[in-house]
Amino acid sequence: MNLILFGPPGAGKGTQAKKMVDLYGIPQISTGDILRANVREGTELGLAAKAYMDKGELVPDEVLIGIIKNRLKEPDCEKGFILDGYPRTKPQADALAALLDGINKPIDVVLNLEVPDEELVERISGRLMCNNCGASYHRTFNPPKKEGVCDTCGGELFQRADDREEAVQNRLNVYKKQTQPLIDYYAEKGILVTLEGTKDINEVFEDIKAVLTKFA
């Protein structure tokens, strides 16, 4: 099963991806997590990406296309994968299509999580992320069992720098301008499924499972 989880920042892509990994046994490929790991480790890539991420701008396409090319070659992607946060621009979508055509592994479904802006801002401003496994929590909507600690891996929870007020509105604007147009692109290919991302976490997951029964 080759999937794209699509939607604005805060829509719940990472949250649903983690649940899908557990159920379907295919990896989550989160370009945000990959970039943050590079920033943390101080790699050349991380140093180049950080300024864009802090401002809520997109990291240049060449960088992302390189990351995805390498990641999809890994053996754990053979049975399928869940792309989370990629593609975000038309050039990224074109590069992905060329890459997957080359290995004859087309995208089966694009799951588009729809959530209105006001709710996105509430979700992002209360988000806490695990510094070890990248799991997302929320101060009120999805609190961890023990304050500050990840339920699944025991990692420490932190607030992302780009989840503080200033960068958030910019990320929503960037999404509308550069990423949202991909909805039409995938709809035209006949592989887009739009889901109500405003339902609670488990209900959204039920809806996803219902869509994926055809493919799993």
- The site for ligand ADP (CB under 6 A) is made up of 7, 9-15, 31-32, 35, 52-53, 56-59, 64, 85-86, 88, 92, 123, 126-127, 136-138, 141-142, 162, 171, 200-201, 204
Q: Which partner in ligand ADP, Zn ion, none is near 135 (CB below 5 to 8 A by kind)?
A: Zn ion
Q: Answer whether 24's CB lies under 8 Å from 132's CB.
A: no
Q: Could you give phi then psi for residue 105, rounded to 5 degrees?
A: -130, 75
Any idea of the CA torsion for 186, 168, 85, 175, to the nearest 10 degrees? 20
Q: Assess whether 73 carries a catalytic annotation.
A: no
150 sits near Zn ion (criterion: CB under 5 A): yes
Q: Assess whether 127 carries a catalytic annotation.
A: yes
Q: How far apart are CA 182 and CA 103, in angstroms?
A: 22
Residues sharing a CB contact under 8 Å with residue 56, sequence separation 6 or more, in sequence order: 162, 166, 167, 168, 169, 170, 171, 174
What is the distance of C-alpha 129 from the center of its chain?
13
Q: Assess whether 171 carries a catalytic annotation.
A: yes
Which residue of the set 13, 36, 71, 123 is catalytic? 13
130 sits near Zn ion (criterion: CB under 5 A): yes
Q: Which partner in Zn ion, ligand ADP, none is near 155 (CB below 5 to 8 A by kind)?
A: Zn ion
Q: How far apart are CA 167 and CA 74, in angstroms?
A: 33
Q: Assess whether 79 carries a catalytic annotation.
A: no
Which residue of the set 18, 36, 88, 123 is catalytic? 88
Centre a 10 Å sphere on the Cβ of residue 95 and count the other Cβ atoms it contains. Answer: 20
List 70, 132, 169, 173, residue binding Zn ion (CB under 5 A): 132
If we measure between CA atoms, which residue out of 195, 211, 167, 159 comes closest to residue 7?
A: 195
Residue nearer to Zn ion on the CB measure, 135 or 174: 135
- Contact region for Zn ion (CB under 5 A) — 13-21, 118-126, 155-163, 202-210? 155-163
Residue nearer to ligand ADP on the CB measure, 92 or 112: 92
Residues tagged active-site = 13, 88, 127, 160, 171
Q: Catalog residues that contact Zn ion under the rule CB under 5 A.
A: 130, 132-133, 135, 150, 153, 155
